[in-house]
Amino acid sequence: MTLKNTRMPHSPAWGVRFLYFCLLWLWASWWMGDSLRICYENSFFVADASQMRFLLQQSLGWIAAIGRAFILPMRYPWLGGLILTTVLFTATMSIARVSHLPLRWRWLASLPAIAWMTWVAWLGLNLYYQSEPGTPFGWLVIAWGIVVILDLLLTPIYKRKRVENIPEKVDIRAFFFLPLFIIPFLTTHFRHPYQRPVTQMQVQLLNQDWEGMSQTAHDNAELSYRPLAAYYAIALVHTGHLTDQMFDIRLDYDTLYLKRYGGTPDIGTSYYNIDCNFHAGLFRPATRRAMEHLTMQGPTLYSLKYLAKLALAESDWPLASKYLHILRQQPFEGEFVSRYSAMLNNADAVRADTEMATVMRTIPTHDDFESMYQEPIFLGFNAVRMEFPSAEALMQCLMVNLYSKRMPDFLYRCQPLIGGTPPKTIAEGLVTQSIKNPSILQAFPSLNMDAQTYRVFISTLKNELKDRQAHARALFKDWKGYYPYYYFFGNLRATRPTPKESPTDNGAVN
């Protein structure tokens, strides 16, 4: 074969490239946008090496550091997504040129990018949860750098060998990448169906969009995953609908496919424990969890922001100032820092903040040790508390008991409501006990209608009650939001053995 006979393969037309670019951007910004934003929250990057020592001391920590720098623009998913898309796109184009693939195989150049996307999709929340968020992005940037350099070096050589220019044509084979593109989407959809709603709710939580969080949960009510339920409960605390909407979503938790440090399975309680403790007004357990997060993961925006807010809530001004000072070094956290810096040395300003004010209504009224409560502490504490600084605290306690199906504790703590009209779900909780304990209806005359509905529920589902596990899913649509349904058919898997929720093998007095 002579040089003269060598023909460069057809390149895909610009239209195909544009489609490819758009699909990448769609994946990065729309499909994964919220996940990448939360990844950003679970990261931390500054140019000062001493502050990045935690990372740089690890083997290949510099790769993770590069990745963390790359994560920074994910603060704005459309911008971060655009940058990520550009990297994936240019890498693909460079691979196509460098590999010198014939036209019919040129679509293979998209394989590395799609493989990387599938890897990220496969990781799910483990992209950042109990793992280093910078690593996948660091490797991507390095790989991108290598192929781009190769491209710059080799393409001029190829061009010199070229004998004729062939005009670009659209070829059906250029679209072969399209079926491959479905893989990362399907991986997320089938392996981590909760990932997008959960991260969407987390972004809404950051924006204090409580109604939005609630709506997201309702839109995904059929999904049943712990983090979804946790963030939904937080939304209800702030919207004031805890006592009438808590059981609107399925609570029969499916596997998250999460791993803890070291790679063993994890049920993911640590994923939302800081959020839940904070929003339950349990500042100390939240602080402890946030410090543990900081210890295990190194500084992250997520832990530092909570630590700053918790220090403000506890009037630990120098400590809050320290955390805010560290956050001030971050390029995109000016809004957070200025909002919370205004509260320094001003307890009234802290109490005047809407979110803080809501949360502070349920802080404990007397001291105890955490170890005296069940884990996770935000449920364990509220289930057994006896003193209530506010109606919200009482309602939280009652709802936690209903959730935990601790009916004697629930009934005992309902005493302050005797004679009144209890909120919807509390009323439904009371009637589930009224057959065993008729005096409940005497104490709450307003429950007669609810009791009738309950009797209808029991008689209608007489057969289903014999095998609750088998019928739980099918009945949800008809009975969602109704507490007796949850009481008999909800959260049945909670009694199954589950993996350890967090590492304990290195827990000790330090």
Site for another protein, rule CB under 8 A:
48, 50-51, 54, 57-59, 61, 261-262, 282, 284-285, 287-288, 291-292, 294-296, 298-299, 316, 318-319, 321-322, 325-326, 363-371, 381, 503, 505-510
263 or 416: whose CB is closer to another protein? 263
Collapsed DSSP state (helix, strand, coil) of residue 266: strand
What is the smallest separation between the CB atom of 116 and another protein, expressed in angstroms?
23
213 or 326: whose CB is closer to another protein? 326
CA dist 19 → 148, 174, 438, 466 (Å): 21, 11, 67, 54
140 or 326: whose CB is closer to another protein? 326
112 or 364: whose CB is closer to another protein? 364
Contact in structure between 441 and 434 (CB atoms under 8 Å): yes
What is the smallest separation between the CB atom of 330 and another protein, expressed in angstroms?
12
Collapsed DSSP state (helix, strand, coil) of residue 433: coil
What is the smallest separation between the CB atom of 420 and another protein, expressed in angstroms?
29
Contact in structure between 115 and 87 (CB atoms under 8 Å): no
How far apart (Å, rounded) are the C-alpha atoms in residues 133 and 120?
10
247 or 283: whose CB is closer to another protein? 283
What is the smallest separation between the CB atom of 260 and another protein, expressed in angstroms?
10
What is the smallest separation between the CB atom of 368 and another protein, expressed in angstroms?
5
What is the smallest separation between the CB atom of 180 and another protein, expressed in angstroms?
34
DSSP-derived letter for residue 29 is I
Residue 409 CB contacts under 8 Å (≥ 6 apart), including other chains: 383, 384, 401
41 or 248: whose CB is closer to another protein? 41
Contact in structure between 252 and 283 (CB atoms under 8 Å): no
Q: Which residues pair with 312 in a beta bridge?
A: none
53 or 169: whose CB is closer to another protein? 53
Q: Which residues pair with 417 in a beta bridge?
A: none
CA angle 141/143/144 to nearest 5° reads 60
How far apart (Å, rounded) are the C-alpha atoms in residues 124 and 138?
17
196 or 309: whose CB is closer to another protein? 309
190 or 369: whose CB is closer to another protein? 369
Taking only Cα atoms into account, the Rg of the chain, rounded to an integer number of angstroms, comes to 27
How is residue 414 written in tokens? 């309902």
Contact in structure between 491 and 252 (CB atoms under 8 Å): yes
SS3 for 188-252 is HHHHCCCHHHHHHHHHHHHCCCHHHHHHHHHHCCCCCCHHHHHHHHHHHHHHCCHHHHHHHCCCC
What is the smallest separation between the CB atom of 332 and another protein, expressed in angstroms?
19
Residue 228 CB contacts under 8 Å (≥ 6 apart), including other chains: 194, 197, 198, 201, 217, 220, 249
Contact in structure between 271 and 228 (CB atoms under 8 Å): no
Collapsed DSSP state (helix, strand, coil) of residue 258: strand
29 or 300: whose CB is closer to another protein? 300
61 or 184: whose CB is closer to another protein? 61
Rounding to the nearest 10 degrees, give the CA dihedral for residues 29, 276, 305, 198.
Answer: 0
What is the smallest separation between the CB atom of 387 and another protein, expressed in angstroms?
11
Choose among 493, 480, 427, 488: nearest CA to 246. 480
How is residue 264 written in tokens? 């063993």
112 or 503: whose CB is closer to another protein? 503
What is the smallest separation between the CB atom of 303 and another protein, expressed in angstroms?
10
> What number of other Cβ atoms are within 10 A of residue 509's Cβ?
3
What is the smallest separation between the CB atom of 261 and another protein, expressed in angstroms?
5
What is the smallest separation between the CB atom of 87 and another protein, expressed in angstroms?
26
